[in-house]
Structure 1
Amino acid sequence: MNIQLTPAARTRMQQFLDTHPAAAGVRFGVRKTGCSGYAYVVDIAERVAANDQVIEQDGVKLVIDESSLSFVDGTEIDFARQGLNSAFVFRNPNVTGECGCGESFTVG
C-alpha cells in the first residue's frame, strides 16, 4: 500500500487530530456517490476496525478500510488553498474519469 501525504496535507490532518486527541487517526477511503461513481472520504477515525489498514507517515495515522484499498493505492494527498477555499487534493493513478463538477470519479 502506497499513499503519500504532502507536507501541507500532513499539517492539515495533524490540525484535525489535535482537536480530537482520542482519535485513532484520519480515516481515508472512498464511498459510492455522485455522477461518476465514487467520492473520497477524509474524516476522523474514532477507532480501527479489524478490516482496516493503518499507514503512518510523519506521525499522522491514515486508517483505510479494506474495501477502499484498491481504489486509493498510489494516491498522493495534498491540501490546497485558493482564495477563500481550501480542500484536500487527490492525485490518484487509478482514476480513469471524473465528473464535470470534480466531486466524484471512476476507476478502470
Structure 2
Amino acid sequence: MLALTDAARSAIRVALSRSDAAHGLRIVVAAGGCAGLQYRLGLAAGAEDGDAVQTFDGVAVYIDPESAPLLVGTTVDFVSDDRGAGFVFDNPNAAGRCSCAHTGG
C-alpha cells in the first residue's frame, strides 16, 4: 500500500525517540490542496479501530480506513533543502503535482 524511504523512516524514528507516549505515525488524507490531496501527520500512541497498520523496519504507520485507498502506491520521503525539511508524498492518486513539494502531491 505505502512505501517509506530510508530518510522517512529515519525522520520518524527521531520524532518517536522524543516522545514517551507515541509508538507510530498516523497519516490522514483529505481532499484539497493544490495537488488534490492534503496530508496530516502526527505521532500516535497506537492504532485506532479500523486502521490499517504497516510496519517498516520497526516503524509503525497507522492509516484510517478512509485514507487507506488514497495512499495505495504512495512513497513517502523526507527531504531537507534550502526551503526547509519535511515529508514529501509521491502519490499516483493525486490529481496533479504541486510546486511546493513539502505539502505533498
Range class of TM-score, shorter chain: 0.7 to 0.9
- Equivalent residues in 2 for 1:5-44 (5 A)? 5-34=4-33, 37-44=36-43
- For residue 48 of structure 1, what is the amino acid of its counterpart? A
- Give TM-score, length-normalised by structure 1: 0.82
| Paired position in structure 2 for 1:53 | 52
Does the 8 A contact of 2:13 with 2:59 survive in 1?
yes
TM-superposed CA distance for 1:71, in Å, is 0.6
Does the 8 A contact of 2:2 with 2:73 survive in 1?
yes
- For residue 55 of structure 1, what is the amino acid of its counterpart? Q
| 2:65 maps to 1:62 | no
In the superposition, relative to structure 1, how do residues 76 and 104 fare at CA in structure 2: closer, same or farther (>3 Å)? closer
RMSD: 2.0
**Larger relative strand fraction:** 1
CA distance in 2, matches of 1:30, 1:15: 23
| Paired position in structure 2 for 1:96 | 95
Which structure 1 segments of 5+ residues have no match?
none
Worse-matched range after superposition: 66-75 or 13-22: 13-22
Which structure 2 segments of 5+ residues have no match?
none
Deviant stretches of 4+, over 2 Å: 31-38, 98-105
| Paired position in structure 1 for 2:78 | 79
Number of residue equivalences: 104
Worse-matched range after superposition: 17-26 or 55-64: 17-26
- Give TM-score, length-normalised by structure 2: 0.84
Worse-matched range after superposition: 34-43 or 23-32: 34-43
Q: Percent identity?
A: 36
